[in-house]
């Protein structure tokens, strides 16, 4: 899997990430910047929108985050048709 996503710290700038694993309760992504364990973040995922969560771990350019509420990961994998507007 390789989904383009965005993470941000509370009140911080957008940080591009590549989501490699996605489940109902969390994700693993490649990220160029460091985060701290337990740090609250917002994650924008294609087809899903903005999800609140916390950093679970960070190592070697990869970050794991848990979501505050479950998501439906299948929504991030659905292609957009030409007559459908992407969600905010």
Question: Which CATH number covers residue 13?
Answer: 2.40.10.220
Among 64, 18, 66, 80, residue whose Cα is nearest residue 45: 18
Residue 85: inside a domain: no
Domain interval for residue 68 = 3-77
Residue 42: inside a domain: yes
- Predicted confidence pLDDT, tens digits, the chain (88 residues): 788 999 999 788 999 999 999 999 999 999 999 999 999 999 999 999 999 999 999 999 999 999 999 999 999 876 654 444 555 5
Residue 9: inside a domain: yes
Residue 55: inside a domain: yes
CB pairs under 8 A, 24+ apart, for 70-75? 70/24, 70/25, 71/24, 71/45, 72/24, 72/48, 73/22, 73/23, 73/24, 75/47, 75/48
Residue 19: inside a domain: yes
Q: What is the pLDDT of residue 11?
A: 80
pTM metric for this prediction = 0.81
């Amino acid at each position: 899997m390789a989904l383009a996503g965005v993470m941000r710290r509370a009140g911080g700038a957008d940080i591009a990430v590549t989501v490699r694993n996605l489940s109902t309760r969390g994700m693993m992504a490649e990220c160029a910047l460091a985060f701290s364990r337990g740090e609250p973040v917002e994650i924008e995922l294609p087809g899903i929108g903005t999800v609140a969560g916390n950093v679970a771990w960070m190592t070697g350019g990869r970050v794991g985050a848990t979501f505050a509420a479950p998501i439906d990961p299948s929504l991030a994998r659905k292609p957009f048709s030409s007559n459908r507007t992407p969600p905010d």
